[in-house]
Amino acid sequence: MSEKTTYRDSGVNIDAQDEALSQIRRIVRSTFNDNVLSDLGSFGGLFRGSFPQLEKPILVSSTDGVGTKLRVAQAMKIHDTVGYDLVCHCVNDILVQGARPLFFLDYFATGRLNPKVMAEVVGGMARGCKENGAALIGGETAEMPGFYAEDDYDIAGFIVGVVDECHLLTGSRVREGDLLIGLPSAGLHTNGYSLARKVFLERLGLDFQTILPEIGGKIGEVLLAPHLSYQNALLPLIESGRLHALAHITGGGLTDNVPRVLPAGTDARIKAGSWDVLPVFRYLYQHGGIEMTEMFRVFNMGIGMVVILPPAEVDKVAAHFGRIGQRYYFIGNVVKGSGKIVYDFPPAGYPSWID
């Protein structure tokens, strides 16, 4: 009789998946709350959809990934941060509509399943979920030899949150004369990594272990700076009705994301130089041969979230940020226009501002 062929022979190790699940079971359960009605391994995650404290609950959902930041994590062999980034990115995406997260699901795909790596990635997700009050109620693990290289992996996240209709943010309340406050980012967050890698690795011939004092340390470690969640800083302001809109500055930068919450007939006028540009962005501009317009469309430029609010609420919002130690910058205002960003640069031009 001919030799038997197994799934493992094709590159898929079910035993490794079982080992990985056994390692992450405790981590995942640590995010559960009383509304979680299922355990890891169920065909579907169960979450009690009862919101007695809300008059008109609206569910808000989103999905995203962390892009080629994964290349940096894999090269540096640091895997416990990208899962955290993924959760915070998704939390911010529903926060801009006023929602607090309920539960999160993940997708983890790889060429060859390494239980230790997967446990580190999911551990980062669990940390992000716990910090933001979300339950990690399930996910999917896919071992795909021949599709991904052996040690490559990709992750995606899916989040569901809820907001009372009276606190829903859509941008419809934004008015001419509103002010723009920028909340600082920690770095690139989860966008612009393909361009950053091209500059550092190809144009400049460096590697992720290279120490650049100008940016604050090893290139790889600086690029792995966490994607911040702004939920704890902003939910009290959302629920007190002090804000008109929020814009999460992700792919497309300030240029493409702020207009997503501008009503017809308005522009956002942003004053360059009104916030601290992080050293990594200054370095990329100075050494990367990147046009300033491209910088603003690819990178967040040091601003992770834009808050739009009426002038009457500025003092109370500023006092709130002061109490919790949240840094912020007044970066512009809403003016008449056609739904775009208008940048005001210093008279001397780009270099004097970013240098």
Instruction: State residue 65 phi and psi, 5-degree precision.
Output: -135, -170
pLDDT (tens digit per residue) in 235-263: 999 999 999 999 999 999 999 999 999 99
Strands of 25-134, DSSP E: 57-65, 100-110
DSSP string, 93-108: HHHTTTPEEEEEEEEE
Q: What is the dihedral of CA 44, 132, 66, 71, to 10 degrees?
A: -110
pLDDT < 50 positions in the chain: none
User: What pLDDT score was predicted for residue 22?
Assistant: 72
- Quick one: pLDDT at residue 18? 64
Residue 151: CB atoms within 10 Å: 12
pLDDT score recorded for residue 188 = 98
The pLDDT value given to residue 236: 98
Superfamily in which the 179-354 domain is placed by CATH: PurM-like C-terminal domain (3.90.650.10)
3-state SS assignment for residue 14: helix
pLDDT at 40: 80
Give the count of alpha carbons within 13 A of 196, CB side only: 28
The class that CATH gives domain 8-167 is alpha beta
Q: What is the pLDDT of residue 43?
A: 85
Amino acid at 149: A
User: What pLDDT score does 28 carry?
Assistant: 87
Boundaries of every domain in the chain: 8-167, 179-354
Look at the block and give the residue holding tokens 């090893």. 218
Do 309 and 181 meet the contact criterion of CB atoms below 8 Å apart? yes
Candidates 353, 335, 1, 338; CA nearest to 174 is 335
Number of residues that make up the chain = 355
Residue with tokens 């038997």: 4
**Where on the phi/psi map is residue 335: left (φ > 0), alpha (ψ -120 to 50), or beta?**
beta
> What's the pLDDT tens digit per position in 111-139?
999 999 999 999 999 999 999 999 999 99
DSSP H helices, 201-243, are: 219-223, 231-239
**DSSP assignment, residue 30?**
T
